[in-house]
Amino acid sequence: MSIDNVLTGHGLGIAVTGMTVVFAGLVLVSLYIRVLPRVLEEAGGLARRRRDRQATDSTVVPAALSSADPALLAAIGYVLQAEREHALALDDQRITLREDDEEQRVWTAIGKMRTLATRM
């Protein structure tokens, strides 16, 4: 047990380097996710029209409720949770056929294709 071990092992240098790089990394991630919504907002004109149908909001509890009655919160949370799980269960069954149009109903009619749909 000796401080020499620390010095010989470059302990301080490694620690300083390490914390510097960890902070640098997470600061960059932090900046990235801070900037992301604005960039998407601005760049999003085209994409938004294309994908409006898909962009669903996350299930974060809205601000107005954050200080509300906990029982209410619990109830809302439960419903969100349940719906999400339901959706997940359905997702599980979903396949990768394009779901966007008329066409789809026809595929379904054939009743043959489903199993092939996830093929490589």
Partner 1 sequence: MDILLEFLGQSGFANVTLGNLVMIAIGITFISLAIVKHYEPLLLVPIGFGAIVGNLAVAPGMSLSVYDEGSVLSYLYYGVSQGIYPPLIFLGIGAMTDFSTMLSNPKLVLLGAAAQVGIFLTLIGALYIGFTPAEAGAIGIIGGADGPTAIFLSAKLAPHLLGAIAISAYSYMALVPVIQPPIMKLLTTREERLIRMKAPRKVTTREKIMFPVGTLIICALIAPGSLVLIGMLMFGNLLKESGVTERLAQTARTGMIDIVTILLGFSVGASTQAQTFLTPQSIGIFALGAISFAIATAGGILAAKAMNLFLTEKINPLVGAAGVSAVPDSARVDQHVGQEEDPNNFLLMHAMAPNVAGVIGSAIAAGILWSVLVG
Interacting residues toward a second copy by CB under 8 A: 59-61, 70, 73-78, 80-81, 84-85, 93, 105-106, 108-112, 114
Non-local CB neighbours of 59 within 8 Å, separated by 6+ positions: 80, 84
Q: How far is the CB of 59 from partner 1 (least distance, A)?
A: 8
Q: What are phi and psi of 67, to 5 degrees?
A: -110, 15
Q: Tell whether residue 82 is a contact of partner 1 (CB under 8 A).
A: no
Contacts with partner 1 in 1-30 (CB under 8 A)? 1-3, 5-6, 9-30
Other residues' Cβ atoms within 10 Å of the Cβ of residue 33: 9
Closest CA to 95 of 79, 119, 73: 119
52 vs 102, beta carbon nearer a second copy: 102
Contacts with partner 1 in 41-80 (CB under 8 A)? 44, 47, 50-51, 54-67, 70, 73
44 vs 107, beta carbon nearer a second copy: 107
Using CA atoms, how far apart are residues 57 and 48, in angstroms rounded to an integer? 14
